[in-house]
Structure 1
Amino acid sequence: MRPARRLRRLLPGRRRFSKWARDERPPRPPRSPRNRGLAFDVVAVLATLLLVLAGLANLAVVDGVDTAVRQAIIAGGGLVLLALFWRVRVGLLGVLGVVSYCLAVVLLAAVPVVGLSANGATRWIAVGGFTFQPSELAKVGMLLVVAGVLGSGRPAWQRFVGALVLAAVPIVLTVLQPDLSTTTLLVVVAVALLVIGRVPARFVLPVFAGAAVAAPLAVGLLRPYQVERLGSFLAGSAESPAGSGWAVAQARIALASGGPFGQAGKPLTDILERYLPERDTDLAPASLVLQFGMIAGVVVLLAAVVLVWRLAVASRTSRTAHGALLAGGLAVLFGAEVVVSVGGNLGLLPLAGVPFPLVSYGGTAVVVHLAAIGVVLGVRRDGARRVLWAAPERLRPRLVRVAALGVTGLLVTFGAFGWRLEAVQGPALMAAGQEQMTRCVRVPAPRGEITDRNGTVLATDAAGTDAGTAKIEAVPALVQPNEVDRLAGLLGRPAADVRAALDAAPDTTLSLELGDLPLAQARAFTGFAGVRVEADPRRSYPTGDLLGPLLGYTGIATEAQTQQNPTLAPGAVVGRAGLEASYDAVLRGIDGEQCYWVSPAGVPLAVGTHRDPVPGANLRTALDLPLQRRLTDSVRASLAAQHNPNAVGAAVAMDPRNGQVLAMASLPSYDNNLYGPPVDGAALQAAEAQPGHPTLEHATQVAVPPGSTFKLVVASANVVHTAIPPNQVVPTGASFTLAGHTFDNWKPMGPMDMPQAIAWSNDVYFYRLAALLGPDPIIEAAHALGVGSATGIDLPGESAGYLGTPETIAGDGGHWYGGTTVILGIGQGPLQVTPLQNARWTAAVATGQLVTPRLGLAVGTPEGGFTALPVPPPVPVPFAGSLGPIRDGMRAAVHGGTASSLSTVPLDPGAKTGTAQDGSLSGDEYDNWTSAAAPLGAPTVVMTGLVQGPGLGGNSASRIVIDGLQQYQAAPPAP
């Protein structure tokens, strides 16, 4: 017997096998008007048409009108089949089932041989310009034949075995493709038919148990992409742009971005749509909501629910078991497809690759579903002709309405979840969608100016002047071909070269430099799509080497700076030294950005948003530029008189009342314009090779012995721990001997008290005083006056100097001798200080308060006003009330002592000079110091000068201080 004939014998419609058929049937009575109304299910057809139209509308937007028209033609053919099958009598279901089942099996068997492959699976057969997916036909074919077997009058075990065998053939062939999503649906349909077909539990339950045991083994049949889909669902991963976790994230973004009425036609929607993979198939529901809104999504869900219920109702109106099981099975199949598709789009179920029936793109699926709906509607139509004495209760499949109710509940839950997703997570998801399709180029902020206290510019951004230059940068993907010639003309380059550069750049390039032009000329580049003008971040320092080490310079952020401040953008220009570094956060401003909308591959598609940079604030310093010039010129003149090319000089002018640094000279120096950016490499290398370490700020970063200027500190220790009363006259002489060691005076001197010893810098007096005091009181007073610690000035890299103690010397493996204390009394030994530290203790002795030196006064803009920077308050010196004798000595030094050259300055200064031996200098060279406060009764300025070179007592450092005081008197700095 032929296989087809055997299969037909299993199906109902043959009187000898059907318990539900009647041997004798009377003629059918004429249909009543009510029956004629039931003959055509308008609600089901309208729901079907609504789903088809929704799918076509989505296709027209995401794939174009041509694709939508093609799908419409195919759907039209499916609707014709629906109409034809609606006229089919139930008695012909067996024949229809045999034909569709056999055709599906034959085609499934042919797929591995002649099929097309994608994603590691072979599922399609191509016929001309169309492709056909046999597994879609297998759904209906298996449904028809298995429903026929289960609806037959055979014994239960025969119906069960026959159903399993018939279902197993397409399931196995589909697994071999492999098409696990369709396989799963086939299994669901088969199991559903066994349940609703009233197969006894003793047959069904062992199958369920075996399936549960074998389920883990099915993982081995999964393809890598299917394993990835399952893993992404379980782990919630959304990282890989090619993964299903990422696809679900895109679906959620689309759902949240649609709003109530959709975003179709808006510019960014087309770009956002590109990030939605399978937007016409698996993720068609998400795409539909994005384009037409959440309301459209709800309408489609309601249409699906209506259709499921109409199919379920048809299962109760059929006059045959075959028709009833067919309608119930199709209701389960349709409901399962909708639930899995919607759940996958929402991320509530694994993205199983199950399209939304009638909405997702796919000609085979649309035609098969429409034809199957037509068959079921035919079953319902035929059921309206049912004879009066039939026994309908025996024809009703079980649990179909329960399944329809479950589908309805799930879809209502999914709809509520989607609505809540948009309401609660919508802003965050839309922001994520915007961010993922945005790529931005940094627009550097103009750097703020640095000025002196009078507003004179010391550092400015050259990009803000016509003297600056600018880069012409392009986004190759956005440059219009017809604009290349005009662009090349403005650049002064051959058009062929510009075109070649644009063509050679990767499609994802956001910044291709085409040229560097003067800023005035670069402003002509307007109106070009994808062309940007970016001013070069060059810093200009009008004062040159006058303030080089103090102002510092800018440059590309170093690795250490980016680690310290992760917010710095790659290639950001920051302060690298001096005030530029100290106040970088204020001066740098906030960069802007030019954004572009890009495809998932990163290719720019359109110009996006633009955010203007926020210019950096200006920094007003305490510096007085005329005083700075005078001090620097004086230091330069003093150094010019020395014969050591490595000699250095420095000077500080500071307000002792608040620590404002009025001037700070440092020589040798460098011109910080050499640092650019861009860096003038050759000139910079030549400058750094100059003797005397020109890149150091010598007033704060170079520490040398202070010599006799330290006697002010030793005298301060004596007013606290009195070893020799200040007014007591003691013999001095030419030398001092301790433990067999003799220490010479710089010249023989007679008996003196403390003020006189300070005025004449009597070494023997301070040898004796230091020996009597011991190291601890001297060190204690030195710490109180800031010796051995950084001053806290707002400059980077400040040296703390060095003040040794018996403990630190011992810790270094040395020994503190009595002679160590003796030479400490005249500022030698384990002691090194910076000029700024020296000025600080001079100010503290003159005022009784220890201040924190500051260069920064205020930040702001001339238009918006300036805000004063916070200043640490002065710290009272513990022994401030006992410093009178020391000040007397400073005044006496000017009026007849070692600093008598300062007496020409009518500011009533008090001063202290010093000459220190320095191991880094040759034998006839010294560190020459002068430190003065004026007017001594109520000081408003302290000046300290240091010059290395020959000298005894009065030296060229005094000339520096004199020049500074004269400038201060002639043009007092503005308050």
Structure 2
Amino acid sequence: MTRERRRNRLGGVFDLLAVAAALGVVVLGLVNLRLVGETGLAVRQGTIAAAGLLALGVFWRTRVRYLGVLGWLAYGTSIVLLVGVLGLGRSANGATRWIALGSFTFQPSELAKLGLLLALAAVLGSERPAWQRFTVALLLAAVPIGLTLLQPDLSTAALLAVLTGAMLVLGRVPARFLLPLAAAAAVLAPLAISLLRPYQLSRLGSFLVGAHQSPTGSGWAVRQARIALGSGGLFGRTGDPLRGVRAQYLPERDTDLALASLVGQWGLVAGAAVVLAAIVLVWRLALASRVPRSAHAALVGGGLAVLLGLEAIVSVGANLGLLPLAGVPFPLLSYGGTALAVHLAAIGVVLAVRRDGARRRLWATARWRNPRPRLVRLAALGVSALLLAFGLYGWRLQTTEGAALEVAGQDQMTRCVRLPATRGAIVDRHDAPLAVNAVAVGSGVDRVVVVPALLLDRPADLDRLAGLIGRLPADLRTQLRAADPTTLSLPVADVPGSVGDAVTTAAIAAVWVDPEPRRVYPTGALLGPVLGFAGVATPDDEKRWPGLPPGEIVGRAGLEQEYDAVLRGIDGQQCLYVDPAGVPVELGARRDPVPGADLRLSLDLGLQQQLAASVAAAVRAQPHPRGRIGAGVAMDPRTGQVLALVSTPSFDDNLYGPPIDTAALQAASQAPGSPMLEHATQGVAPPGSTFKLVVAAANQASPVWSPNQIVPTGADFTYGGHVFHNWKPMGPMNLVQSIAISNDVYFYKLAVALGPDAIIGTAQALGVGQRTGIDLPGESAGYLGTPDSVRSAGRAWYGGSTVILGIGQGELQVTPLQNARWTSAVATGSLVTPRLGLAVGTGTSGWTALPAPAATPLPFASALGPVQAGMRAAVTGGTATRLAGLPLPVGAKTGTAQDGGLPDGQYDNWISAVAPMDAPEIAVTAWVQGPGTGGNSATAVAVDALGYYAAHRSDVLATAPVPMP
């Protein structure tokens, strides 16, 4: 008796453990409902749980002799209710599964699980012949399974079918009956696909292709479950202020995916507690099947153990994405009053069976007459092992993919609005504005932007904003309510910069100010092609700068394009958290935009204006100026800093707006003289006699004549049967004299003596036929033909080709900037890279010098003295004497080139000059098309430019040095 009492006491402890396990799962289910914001459901579920616990206690006290009556009553009632569902049931999601009585709903299929279990236990636990037990069991199962399929509720029907099979095995039905049944089930299983509803097919398809990878349907649901499971951590995120928003992304968080929801809210520890409680229940119920006095009672315990274990496995597997999402809730945890009450009552029944068996063990039937259920402990062991394996998989999911899943969860609820950065200004070397933002000069507006859904929830903030922007609160509220709830940003006012500053200072949540992107160019057409313009990025721009956001403003031409990465700045962003419908619910992180840096140029605005006026006047001075062009360059020959860069005709960058002046832009693009081109770097023409500096330098680099050698010249030169004329008859001269007076015959003969290779080699050393490397897009390389390149093009290089190359004609086209560059190199002995960008930064925070390529010394620099002397002689007594009156000693070379693209009597008129000649500080090159007489002379342009420089020399050079990076 002592051992029996101990066993009974131990059984009582285990009964209490089973009840505690069940109660723990119920409590965690209620906690989950509360955490996801379903307080009403939690109260309802708690009420039903109390009733279920009461039923558990009542049935615990039930005697086994009443088990049969209870079973047939439950079975019969469930059948009646299943039939009633077909005619009176309530439908949802394409299925009719519930009976509604006012606010109370009941799901008969849940009662059918218990009714079928008890009925099968009664039949299979009887002493009838095996074939009768088998046949009656199948008939009993067919009725609820068929009625459930008609709802249709395939998941419950499948669960009932599996329960039936398990009960047949537990009830020791011989294998000769079970094997044919199993074979028939295997054959008919594929036909079950035809019974699937579209949403069920979607679930199955999502699972087969990888449910967690599918972006929609059940794939979406499983992905959300994995995010919740993987990112919940060990103890969850109950302190996360966005917990409620995150929970909304998990569908069926109160039913099918309640386990994932609980882990997401309270962590893996809570999920492990639920799984452990399920294992305890399964084992407790399984062990209950070992002690009853009858096979009938034993099968009730074993069957419920299998049922609960199967439901737990399917639910956990579906939550992890390891099994299809079959719509099977986790027992006792998921919301559902019918299931909760039935499960608690069923546990009470089984515990009553064990209690009865423990009390009356002495009078129990002999084991050979009361065989225990077959494989029940093995089934419990399998359920436990599988649940533990699933738990380990969940732990591994957190450790290996948790971080990525957390990021995925954050990303899916985050939407970010771009906060455009203010574009940096472009200024001259003295900080005079050349390109600025419209707001900065008082001609633009700021745009006030709000998040409608958030601002509507803050009436006080809405009223305050309305006052700041000068709108009636009612009007503003009406506008916000009319917007789509998912709108992330809505412009509500365009205001002056001062008002925009006031709105920014007010720091109203869900409100910010975007600066107007319009660019203003105060100098108009003065620097049109040089500065370029900014506008919305085109597909070509997106290729140039991958990753541009839609609508980004970028530099589209000129310096705006060249230095776009500096000027554009870095856009900021205001992130918002949205619910699954896309409606903003909370402000997220904000990253303020970083304004673009200002760009300081080497240009001197005063010198630019003077040079532009002089070039324009020279072009206008010709008899027929339409279509004629001119260009000018002023450059520091020591550093390459460009002091002025002029192109005539030009265009006004302000035409690009916004709004774009389409008509004016079209007129400019079609106007004579190609005003859209930057002629100083993109226009090309034969350089004429200015190229004689290159030929003279070639003689110094590869001497064939002494610079002092007197060479007979005259009025013309005959070579190869062709006569090449001088521009006027001249006597014998040396190199210096020939440069000064621009003696064509001297250079014809020198070119022949040198040969094309020597001339071309020196020209290449001086940058002829190459891009200078100036920091402007679209620079032309010009053209320097060689005998080989000419022959490759299908033409011939004649002896006369070398002759006319000596005076800058023939296979030669250069830009004004190239001309200025070689003139500077001859004057200083070093080849520089022209640069416009001087420094970046701001006038308040300081400037940082932009790195510039170092000058390259010429290998023949020491031999260039005679060429430099010739340049000086051209001013003191040669073709450039108009420069002699300047207060600085100037060296120069003039040139007049015939151009097949110009009418008769029209030429490309050139001059390149440097000053002071003994220590050059400035090089000026001018190119003017026209007759080259009177006011049309390029020399007049150089006189004006160098005169301005001499008068303002200290101002031009006053730019403070800036540190290198």
> Could you tell me the TM-score, scaled by structure 2's length?
0.92
Amino acid at match of 1:965: L
Indicate the larger mover: 583-592 or 350-359.
350-359
> Partners in 1 of 2:915 and 2:441 — Cα distance?
42
Amino acid at match of 1:511: S
| Alpha carbons of structure 1 residues 239 and 38: separation in structure 2 relative to 1, 3 Å | closer
Partner of 2:362, secondary structure, is: coil
Partner of 1:928, secondary structure, is: strand
| Alpha carbons of structure 1 residues 361 and 968: separation in structure 2 relative to 1, 3 Å | same
Aligned match of 1:120: 94
Corresponding position: 1:62 with 2:40: no
Work out which of the residue numbers 924, 927, 931 in structure 2 matches 1:943. Answer: 924
Work out which of the residue numbers 357, 379, 393 in structure 2 matches 1:383. Answer: 357
Partner of 1:236, secondary structure, is: helix
> Partners in 1 of 2:509 and 2:848 — Cα distance?
42
> Partners in 1 of 2:746 and 2:930 — Cα distance?
26
1:712-731 matches, cutoff 5 A? 712-720=693-701, 722=703, 724-731=705-712
How much identity, in percent, do the aligned residues show?
Answer: 63
Aligned match of 2:541: 561
1:321-332 matches, cutoff 5 A? 321-332=295-306
Amino acid at match of 2:601: T
| Alpha carbons of structure 1 residues 695 and 30: separation in structure 2 relative to 1, 3 Å | closer
Contact 1:652 1:699 in 2 (8 A): yes
Amino acid at match of 1:87: R
> Partners in 2 of 1:493 and 1:691 — Cα distance?
50
Aligned match of 2:159: 185
**TM-aligned CA deviation for residue 863 of structure 1:** 5.7
Contact 1:645 1:692 in 2 (8 A): yes
> Partners in 1 of 2:729 and 2:56 — Cα distance?
128
Amino acid at match of 1:471: R
Work out which of the residue numbers 414, 435, 451 in structure 1 matches 2:411. Answer: 435
Aligned match of 2:485: 507
**TM-aligned CA deviation for residue 49 of structure 1:** 1.5
> Partners in 2 of 1:495 and 1:42 — Cα distance?
64
**TM-aligned CA deviation for residue 838 of structure 1:** 0.7
Listed one character per residue, the Cα deviations across residues 331-379 of structure 1 (whole Å, up to 9, x for unaligned) are 1111121122122222233322211111111122112211211111111
Contact 1:554 1:677 in 2 (8 A): no
Indicate the larger mover: 445-454 or 744-753.
445-454
**TM-aligned CA deviation for residue 494 of structure 1:** 6.3
1:684-833 matches, cutoff 5 A? 684=665, 691-720=672-701, 722=703, 724-833=705-814
Aligned match of 1:405: 381
Contact 1:554 1:575 in 2 (8 A): yes
Aligned match of 2:494: 516
**TM-aligned CA deviation for residue 773 of structure 1:** 4.3
| Alpha carbons of structure 1 residues 563 and 238: separation in structure 2 relative to 1, 3 Å | farther
Aligned match of 1:303: 277
Work out which of the residue numbers 887, 894, 910 in structure 2 matches 1:929. Answer: 910
**TM-aligned CA deviation for residue 597 of structure 1:** 1.4
Aligned match of 2:610: 630
Listed one character per residue, the Cα deviations across residues 698-726 of structure 1 (whole Å, up to 9, x for unaligned) are 21121122111112223333445555554
Aligned match of 2:452: 476
> Partners in 2 of 1:534 and 1:921 — Cα distance?
51
Indicate the larger mover: 388-397 or 243-252.
388-397
1:305-704 matches, cutoff 5 A? 305-390=279-364, 391-392=366-367, 394-463=370-439, 468-480=444-456, 482=459, 490-492=468-470, 498-525=476-503, 526=506, 530-643=510-623, 644-681=625-662, 684=665, 691-704=672-685
> Could you tell me the TM-score, scaled by structure 1's length?
0.91
1:161-240 matches, cutoff 5 A? 161-238=135-212
> Partners in 1 of 2:243 and 2:806 — Cα distance?
82
Work out which of the residue numbers 79, 84, 97 in structure 1 matches 2:53. Answer: 79
**TM-aligned CA deviation for residue 491 of structure 1:** 4.5
Contact 2:123 2:133 in 1 (8 A): yes
Partner of 1:124, secondary structure, is: strand
> Partners in 2 of 1:840 and 1:723 — Cα distance?
25
| Alpha carbons of structure 1 residues 469 and 104: separation in structure 2 relative to 1, 3 Å | same
| Alpha carbons of structure 1 residues 730 and 948: separation in structure 2 relative to 1, 3 Å | same
Indicate the larger mover: 508-517 or 423-432.
423-432
Contact 1:82 1:372 in 2 (8 A): yes
Aligned match of 1:151: 125
> Partners in 2 of 1:216 and 1:900 — Cα distance?
104
> Partners in 1 of 2:839 and 2:463 — Cα distance?
50
Amino acid at match of 1:516: D
> Partners in 2 of 1:326 and 1:503 — Cα distance?
60
**TM-aligned CA deviation for residue 120 of structure 1:** 3.4
Amino acid at match of 2:489: S
**TM-aligned CA deviation for residue 486 of structure 1:** 6.3
Partner of 1:514, secondary structure, is: strand
Amino acid at match of 2:328: V
Amino acid at match of 1:232: S
Indicate the larger mover: 836-845 or 629-638.
629-638
Amino acid at match of 1:913: T
Contact 1:479 1:528 in 2 (8 A): no
> Partners in 1 of 2:422 and 2:589 — Cα distance?
20
**TM-aligned CA deviation for residue 574 of structure 1:** 0.9
Contact 1:256 1:429 in 2 (8 A): yes
Contact 1:476 1:510 in 2 (8 A): yes
**TM-aligned CA deviation for residue 493 of structure 1:** 5.3
Amino acid at match of 1:598: V
> Partners in 2 of 1:401 and 1:864 — Cα distance?
79
> Partners in 1 of 2:161 and 2:789 — Cα distance?
86
Indicate the larger mover: 337-346 or 95-104.
95-104
> Partners in 2 of 1:963 and 1:560 — Cα distance?
41
Contact 1:471 1:535 in 2 (8 A): yes
Listed one character per residue, the Cα deviations across residues 241-275 of structure 1 (whole Å, up to 9, x for unaligned) are 54222212212222344344433464311111111
Amino acid at match of 2:680: A
Contact 2:688 2:898 in 1 (8 A): yes
Contact 1:181 1:352 in 2 (8 A): yes
Contact 2:206 2:214 in 1 (8 A): no
Number of residue pairs the alignment of both structures matches = 948
Amino acid at match of 2:206: S
**TM-aligned CA deviation for residue 110 of structure 1:** 4.3
Contact 2:456 2:480 in 1 (8 A): no
Contact 1:705 1:831 in 2 (8 A): yes
Partner of 1:614, secondary structure, is: coil
Work out which of the residue numbers 802, 815, 822 in structure 2 matches 1:841. Answer: 822
**TM-aligned CA deviation for residue 496 of structure 1:** 6.5
> Partners in 2 of 1:116 and 1:562 — Cα distance?
56
Partner of 1:735, secondary structure, is: strand
| Alpha carbons of structure 1 residues 420 and 239: separation in structure 2 relative to 1, 3 Å | closer
| Alpha carbons of structure 1 residues 115 and 29: separation in structure 2 relative to 1, 3 Å | farther
Aligned match of 2:251: 277
Partner of 2:75, secondary structure, is: helix
**TM-aligned CA deviation for residue 865 of structure 1:** 4.4
Amino acid at match of 1:354: V
Partner of 2:570, secondary structure, is: coil
Partner of 1:414, secondary structure, is: helix
Indicate the larger mover: 754-763 or 385-394.
385-394
Contact 1:86 1:375 in 2 (8 A): yes
Structure 1 portions without partners, runs of 5+? 1-27
Contact 1:699 1:836 in 2 (8 A): yes
| Alpha carbons of structure 1 residues 251 and 798: separation in structure 2 relative to 1, 3 Å | same
1:947-962 matches, cutoff 5 A? 947-951=928-932, 956-962=937-943
Indicate the larger mover: 455-464 or 561-570.
455-464
Listed one character per residue, the Cα deviations across residues 123-144 of structure 1 (whole Å, up to 9, x for unaligned) are 3333333333222222212211
Contact 1:631 1:665 in 2 (8 A): yes
Partner of 1:384, secondary structure, is: helix
**TM-aligned CA deviation for residue 733 of structure 1:** 1.8
Contact 1:442 1:592 in 2 (8 A): yes
